[in-house]
Structure 1
Amino acid sequence: MVFIGIGLLIASVIAFFLMSHTRSELHAMIAAETLPVAELRMLRQASDDIGAKGSFRKECEVVGGATAGPSGMLRSELTGTECVWFRYRIEREYEHVTYRDNQRHVSKRTEQLADHSSSQSYAIQDDAGDTITIEPGNLRPDKPEQVLNSYETAHGPGGSGLGNTLMRLVGNRMGGGGTLGHRYTEWVVRPGQRLYILGEVNDRRGDLTVSRPEKGHFIISTRSEEELRASRTTTHKFIRIGIFVAVPLGIILTIAGALS
Structure 2
Amino acid sequence: MTSYLIATLVAAVVAVGLGYLAHEARGARQRLRGTETSTTATLTALAGAASAAAGSRSYAERVELSGVAAPGPQGLLTSEISGTPCVWHHHKVSRRYEERRRTSGGEHRTQTRTEVVTENRSREPFVLRDEHGEVLVVPETAVDRPRKVRSEFRPETGRGGPSITIGSLSLALPASRETLGYEYEEWVLTPGTPLFVQGEATDRDGRLEVRDSPSAPLVISTRSEAELQAAHTRRALLCAGGSGLAAVAAVVMLVLGLLA
Q: CA deviation at 1:119?
A: 1.4
- Asked whether the equivalents of residues 137 and 209 of structure 2 are also in contact (C-alpha less than 8 Å), the reply is yes
Q: 2:155 aligns with which of 138, 153, 156?
A: 153
Aligned match of 2:129 in 102, 125, 132? Answer: 125
Change (3 A) 1:27 1:224: same
Contact 2:164 2:170 in 1 (8 A): no
Matches within 5 A, 1:174-213: 174-178=173-177, 179-213=179-213
List alignment gaps of at least 5 residues for structure 1: 157-161
Rate the CA distance shift 1:90–1:170 in 2: closer, same or farther, 3 A. farther
Shift of 1:166: 6.6
Match of 1:8, SS state, is helix
CA RMSD of aligned residues (A): 2.3
Q: Does 1:77 align with 2:70?
A: no
Partners of 2:73 and 2:126 within 8 A in 1: yes
CA spacing shift, 1:200–1:152, aligned 2, 3 Å: same
Q: Which amino acid aligns with 1:175?
A: P
For the structure 1 residues 104 and 17, does the alpha-carbon distance in structure 2 shift closer, same or farther, using more than 3 Å as the test? closer
Amino-acid identity (%): 28
Cross-structure match for 1:12: 15
Distance 2:195 2:73 in 1: 18
Q: Does the CA contact (< 8 Å) of 2:150 and 2:184 recur in 1?
A: yes
The answer (yes or no) to whether the contact 2:196–2:221 under 8 Å persists in 1 is: yes
Q: Which consecutive residues of structure 2, in runs of 5 or more, have no partner in the other structure? A: none
Query: Number of aligned pairs?
Result: 252
User: Does 2:120 correspond to 1:116?
Assistant: yes
Q: Once structures 1 and 2 are overlaid, which stretch shifts more, 214-223 or 230-239?
A: 214-223
Which range is displaced more, 69-78 or 147-156? 147-156
User: After superposition, what is the alpha-carbon deviation per residue over 1:20-42, rounded to whole angstroms, capped at 9, x for unaligned?
Assistant: 11111111111111111111111
Match of 2:42 among 39, 44, 47: 39
Give, as a single letter, the amino acid of the residue that structure 2 aligns with 1:209.
E
Q: Does the Cα contact within 8 Å between 2:81 and 2:166 map onto a contact in 1?
A: no
Shift of 1:71: 1.6
162-171 vs 111-120, greater mean Cα deviation? 162-171
Q: Deviations over 1:15-73 (max 9, x none)?
A: 22211111111111111111111111111111112133211011110111001112211
Q: What pairs with 1:49-88 in structure 2 (closer than 5 Å)?
A: 49-88=52-91
TM-score after normalising by structure 2: 0.89
- Contact 1:23–1:232 (Cα < 8 Å) also in 2: yes
CA change 1:165–1:36 in 2 (3 A) is: same
Which residue of structure 1 lines up, in the alignment, with residue 142 of structure 2?
Answer: 140
Please tell me whether the aligned partners of residues 91 and 187 of structure 2 are also in contact (alpha carbons under 8 angstroms).
yes
Matched, 1:259 2:255: no
CA distance in 1, matches of 2:107, 2:33: 61
Alpha carbons of structure 1 residues 214 and 103: separation in structure 2 relative to 1, 3 Å: closer
- C-alpha spacing 1:257/1:123, structure 2 compared with 1 (3 Å): same
> How many angstroms apart in 2 are the aligned matches of 1:107 and 1:234?
34
Cα displacement string for residues 138-183 of structure 1 (whole angstroms, at most 9, x for unaligned residues) = x001011111111111228xxxxx96437974623x1131222111
Match of 1:159 in 2: none
